[in-house]
Amino acid sequence: MKFRIGLKVWSINHDFLDTMKKIIENNLCQYVEIYYIPGSSELFFNWWPDFPIPVLVHGPTTRDGLNPAVGQGKNFLEETLNFADRVQSEKIIFHPGMGGNLENVLSFFSCFSGKRLIIENMPFYSLDWRECQGAPPEEINTIVQEIGCSFCLDVGHGAKYACSKDLDFLTVIKRFEKINPFMYHISDGFMDNDMDEHLNMGNGDIPYQEIFQIIDSEKAMTLETAKSSSLFYDEYEKDYTYTLKALRREL
């Protein structure tokens, strides 16, 4: 069984650098996923060193002006692509967005190379109670089939969708797994809460030991867990250790 765990940071997190170096030196992540903030490219390359591990880019979301569901932020696509090229990220993750409709999502990405795009599933509700596109497995499957892109299964988002629709969570995960995810996002949360939480592993009640018996544990998994400060090494190490124990069924 292989474990490929990713560390998630933002392109403006220059204050994370010392902690990131320690995590990478101790082999507690095998790649870094960078959430790109529009306009931060030059700032980023002023502080980002040449780490000896791969980089994966996550595109801007609604909070930073890119919302495919309503056709907002197309001007950020090329900027994000250029950033991904510079860090040699072969693929880019995007959210389908909030509000709007699925037709807008398909139109938004119609000019995008499907082979490079990874679409991520969403909770049913956003933090401001808008309905999200790409929450049900059927909508993700439509996007994947229409655009020819890959799929990132966000386990926490799946839990929130199951809660909002009063569905059995593990059954929802099995439905997502049939779409053949390229990779996963993992974080903890509470199963009776509609709202996205991104808690540290073990601080919620998402049954990861059971989930890891359903999903493909040899694929990449980004830890999208909370960081209380720039000195988050101990928090991250606990998340990493918890994840390995759950994968090995040692919890």
pLDDT tens series, the chain, 251 aa: 466 999 999 999 999 999 999 999 999 999 999 999 999 999 999 999 989 999 999 999 999 999 999 999 999 999 999 999 999 999 999 999 999 999 999 999 998 878 899 999 999 998 888 899 999 999 999 999 999 999 999 999 999 999 999 999 999 999 999 999 999 999 999 999 999 999 999 999 999 999 999 999 899 999 999 999 999 999 999 999 999 999 988 87
Question: Can you give the CATH number for the domain in which 69 is found?
Answer: 3.20.20.150
Say if residues 159 and 189 touch (Cβ distance below 8 Å).
yes
Provide the residue range defining the domain that includes 240. Answer: 5-247
Specify the pTM: 0.96
Please tell me the total count of domains within the chain.
1
